[in-house]
Structure 1
């Protein structure tokens, strides 16, 4: 199990790492990106569209995009939090997904080599959406006085896409 906020933040780090790894390779082969053309505006447009998508995803009335706010509101209390929940640092470690980093790095490499050095920037599509969702989840947790978790618990079978919550606990070193 991982904290929802940790998952959002770690995804941002994963994207930045993937872009940082592939950018030198692409820039070495294709040269540095030149800001004179419309690529900068395209990347900013993708950035803005992603932020809008993140806002729609947390909207309570959004039936098409996801409506994660409804999912937060329907979260189920965790029966035995002390036995199941990882330490805060362990939650951050569990949130890291190496296969996602490899996927983003390979796609940045392919796009950068095929379409030019600005192709490395396609991965910014993940960043604003995750920032919006992470900030909203953090405010939601604070407003409700709980921590929001995602993951499976064998003792508490839930439907897919449902969240669990626990009361805040004292952080233990780890």
Structure 2
């Protein structure tokens, strides 16, 4: 099980770092971008910010809030979550692989088209907003949101992946 807010914030850091590295490779191979590309460099992350912010509010009647509100409490958190050491090891392994993938993929694409690296920055902004809104929702409701699979009798309604579960906010996980 991975805490939803930590997953999104870590994903934002990984994708943005991969974009910066790939952007450096793209600039080294093709030179600095032209003036019109700087406009895209400024507008695309702003668009990503506005779109994700709208998706994490009730304005579009979709997004993350219905998934959070449909979250089911974990019946046995100690068994489902494991120890803090197990959770930390799972996260390190997951993000190490993901960072390697994004570095290789973004650098390979930046070798041919440097502007494609903007995809990394839009993804990073998207995950940053989603993680911050998740943390805000957790604080307001006094619970922690977890993503993963738990075998228990009461399952969340079928609203699509990921399945999200809650535990009360405790000092050890907060």
Which residue, 75, 90, 94 being the options, matches 1:94? 90
Equivalent positions of 1:136-151 (< 5 A) are: 136-151=133-148
CA deviation profile, 1:138-160 (whole Å, cap 9, x unmatched): 11111111101111012355444
The residue aligned with 1:171 is 172
Q: With structure 2 as the length reference, what TM-score do the two structures score?
A: 0.79
Measure, in 2, the Cα distance between the counterparts of 1:54 and 1:134: 11
Q: Secondary structure at the match of 2:127?
A: helix
The residue aligned with 2:22 is 22
Unaligned runs of 5+ in 2: none
CA deviation profile, 1:53-86 (whole Å, cap 9, x unmatched): 21232133535xx421011111101101122224
Q: Secondary structure at the match of 1:59?
A: coil
State whether structure 2 residue 149 is matched by structure 1 residue 152.
Answer: yes
Q: 1:124 Cα shift?
A: 0.3
The residue aligned with 2:66 is 70
Measure, in 1, the Cα distance between the counterparts of 2:150 and 2:167: 13
The residue aligned with 1:84 is 80
Q: 1:6 Cα shift?
A: 0.4
The residue aligned with 1:128 is 125
Which residue, 53, 56, 59 being the options, matches 2:51? 53
Q: With structure 1 as the length reference, what TM-score do the two structures score?
A: 0.79
Q: Secondary structure at the match of 2:29?
A: helix
Q: 1:45 Cα shift?
A: 1.4
